[in-house]
């Protein structure tokens, strides 16, 4: 007999609706962005390839909107007797040109071998697939700035100019580039001229009212009717509005729901939300860490090594340890200014906490601490992400 207690009831009716990959049918408060993307991309049905860029902070709905758009647009095209197919590449996971190309080719051939072909050969194979199918193909490069930084922009360039030079060829490939940064920050002129400024859609952070509606929508899908108090959803949306991040709101809803279950309650109330926030499971999840650039991860690895058993460390100590960590990882240590920028960003993300040191100490020394995760856990999480980034 198992020693697990089967809990008699749960607030959740369908927890898969809270999963990271779940794409809602309707993206609340993103009609304008959806319409603009449609206006940019839809002429491909008449004239051939188009490109668009989506930018904005974490949790502003870029990835979900692109996926929803592709699915709906391909139905829209089918209704008009046209064929549109698409592939979404997460460039943080496929952070090299061959890895990104492999992901694209496996859309056509799930058994395409993972080695033995150069990128130009792979592009040629893609060309043949597209010609043979008489379908328009939309490639979504999500988190494309990561690919550009790690592997250069050659592949992005080639995809943006796909078949432009073929005789009488009509461009049968469109590109949607997604990143937190503006394209001008990581692409060169040659590509920017294709992804014109006017084809960039910026995703604002959500305000509390918008997050309220987003959280309500998700609660209706994932929890039983009446299983969450309206006030609890208000509190979730207020907390998440600090960063305008819908993902955080959904994570809070899930954690608060789990706490309600643990406490044997029938509904999620504000206290469960507060506890969920305190657990900060919402703030420092592996997903969140996985989105950080490598050197920020190295800084976190450094602090997790020296802060064990201590309340805080100084920035000077941390910078030194960061240098050591860089050396161990064969990375060039970034300069002082850049290092400070990392600290700033990590602080904004709520991962690091920084305060100016008490009196008697050097004026510009800050004390750093991590609050929401044990040093050991942080270190393990960062190491596993770094080993995957090789």
Ligand X SMILES: Nc1ncnc2c1ncn2[C@@H]1O[C@H](COP(=O)(O)OP(=O)(O)O)[C@@H](O)[C@H]1O
State yes or no: residue 61 binds ligand X (CB under 6 A): yes
User: Where would I find the H helices in 8-118?
Assistant: 31-41, 44-47, 62-79, 97-108
CB of 323 to Mg ion, least distance (A): 32
**Residue choice 15, 38, 45, 58 for contact with ligand X (CB under 6 A):** 58
Count of CB atoms situated within 10 Å of the CB of 267? 15
Residue entry with tokens 């592009």 = 123
CB of 51 to ligand X, least distance (A): 18
State yes or no: residue 205 binds ligand X (CB under 6 A): no
**CA–CA gap between residue 267 and residue 278 (Å, rounded):** 19
SS3 179: strand
The piece of 55-63, 195-203, 285-293, 300-308 that touches Mg ion (CB under 5 A) is: 55-63
State yes or no: residue 55 binds Mg ion (CB under 5 A): no
Pick between residue 163 and residue 345 the one whose CB is nearest to ligand X. 345
**CA–CA gap between residue 310 and residue 276 (Å, rounded):** 25
The piece of 60-68, 194-202, 304-312, 356-364 that touches ligand X (CB under 6 A) is: 60-68
Binding track, positions 320-349, relative to Mg ion; x by CB under 5 A: ------------------------------
**CA–CA gap between residue 280 and residue 276 (Å, rounded):** 6
**Residue 92 binds which of ligand X, Mg ion, none (CB < 5-8 A, kind-dependent):** none
SS3 54: strand
**CA–CA gap between residue 91 and residue 181 (Å, rounded):** 14
Pick between residue 74 and residue 93 the one whose CB is nearest to Mg ion. 93
State yes or no: residue 244 binds ligand X (CB under 6 A): no
CB of 177 to ligand X, least distance (A): 13
State yes or no: residue 246 binds ligand X (CB under 6 A): yes
Kindly give, in sequence order, each residue whose CB lies less than 8 Å from that of residue 204, ignoring residues fewer than 6 positions away: 56, 60, 244
**Residue choice 63, 194, 255, 304 for contact with Mg ion (CB under 5 A):** 63
The piece of 63-71, 190-198, 298-306, 363-371 that touches Mg ion (CB under 5 A) is: 63-71
- Check: CB of residue 203 under 8 Å from CB of residue 56: yes
116: buried, middle or exposed (CB in 10 Å: 19+, 13-18, 0-12)?
exposed
According to CB under 6 A, which residues from 268 to 287 bind ligand X?
Answer: none
**Residue choice 17, 40, 52, 63 for contact with ligand X (CB under 6 A):** 63
Residue nearest to ligand X (CB): 61
CB of 288 to Mg ion, least distance (A): 12
CB of 234 to ligand X, least distance (A): 17
State yes or no: residue 222 binds ligand X (CB under 6 A): no
Q: Which of 214, 275, 270 is nearest to 246 (CA)?
A: 214
State yes or no: residue 60 binds ligand X (CB under 6 A): yes
b or e along 62-100 (b: 16 or more beta carbons within 10 Å of the residue's beta carbon)?
bbbbbbbbbeebbeebeeeeeebbbbbbbbbebbebbeb
State yes or no: residue 214 binds ligand X (CB under 6 A): yes
**CA–CA gap between residue 192 and residue 270 (Å, rounded):** 47
Please count the residues of this chain forming the interface with ligand X, following the rule CB under 6 A.
18
**CA–CA gap between residue 108 and residue 124 (Å, rounded):** 13
The piece of 38-46, 59-67, 130-138, 292-300 that touches ligand X (CB under 6 A) is: 59-67
**Residue choice 64, 97, 194, 237 for contact with ligand X (CB under 6 A):** 64
**Helix and strand numbers, DSSP H then E, in the chain:** 17, 8
SS3 141: strand
State yes or no: residue 27 binds ligand X (CB under 6 A): yes
Residues of this chain that bind Mg ion (CB under 5 A): 63
Residues of this chain that bind ligand X (CB under 6 A): 24, 27-30, 56, 58-64, 214, 217, 246-247, 250
């Amino acid at each position: 007999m198992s020693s697990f207690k089967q809990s008699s009831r749960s607030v959740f009716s369908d927890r898969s609706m809270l999963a990271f990959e779940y794409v809602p049918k309707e993206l609340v408060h993103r009609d304008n962005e959806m319409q603009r993307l449609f206006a940019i991309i839809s002429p491909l049905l008449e004239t051939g390839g188009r490109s668009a860029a989506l930018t904005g902070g974490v949790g502003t709905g870029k990835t979900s909107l692109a996926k929803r758009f592709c699915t709906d647009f391909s139905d829209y095209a089918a209704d008009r007797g046209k064929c549109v197919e698409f592939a979404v590449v997460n460039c943080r996971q496929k952070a090299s040109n061959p890895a990104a190309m492999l992901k694209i080719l496996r859309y056509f051939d799930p058994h395409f071998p993972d080695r033995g072909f150069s990128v130009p050969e792979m592009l040629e194979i893609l060309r043949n697939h597209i010609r043979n199918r008489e379908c328009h193909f939309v490639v979504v490069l999500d988190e494309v700035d990561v690919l550009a930084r790690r592997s250069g922009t050659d592949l992005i360039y080639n995809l943006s100019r796909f078949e432009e030079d073929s005789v009488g060829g009509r461009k049968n490939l469109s590109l949607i580039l997604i990143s937190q940064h503006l394209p001008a920050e990581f692409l060169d002129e040659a590509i920017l001229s294709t992804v014109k400024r006017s084809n960039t859609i910026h995703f604002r952070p959500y305000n509390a009212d918008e997050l309220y509606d987003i959280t309500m929508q998700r609660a209706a899908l994932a929890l039983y009717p009446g299983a969450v108090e309206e006030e609890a959803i208000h509190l979730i949306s207020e907390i998440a509005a600090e960063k305008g991040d819908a993902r955080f709101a959904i994570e809070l809803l899930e954690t608060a729901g789990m706490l309600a279950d643990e406490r044997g309650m029938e509904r999620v109330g504000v206290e469960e939300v507060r506890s969920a926030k305190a657990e900060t499971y919402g703030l420092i999840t592996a997903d969140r860490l996985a989105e950080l650039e490598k050197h920020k991860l190295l800084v976190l690895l450094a602090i997790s090594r020296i802060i064990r058993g201590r309340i805080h460390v100084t920035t000077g100590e941390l910078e030194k340890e960061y240098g050591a960590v860089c050396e161990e990882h064969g990375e060039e240590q970034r300069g002082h200014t850049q290092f400070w920028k990392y600290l700033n960003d990590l602080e904004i993300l709520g991962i690091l906490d920084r305060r100016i040191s008490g009196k008697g100490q050097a004026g510009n020394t800050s004390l750093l601490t991590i609050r929401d995760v044990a040093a050991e856990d942080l270190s393990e999480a960062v190491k596993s992400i770094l080993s995957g980034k090789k």
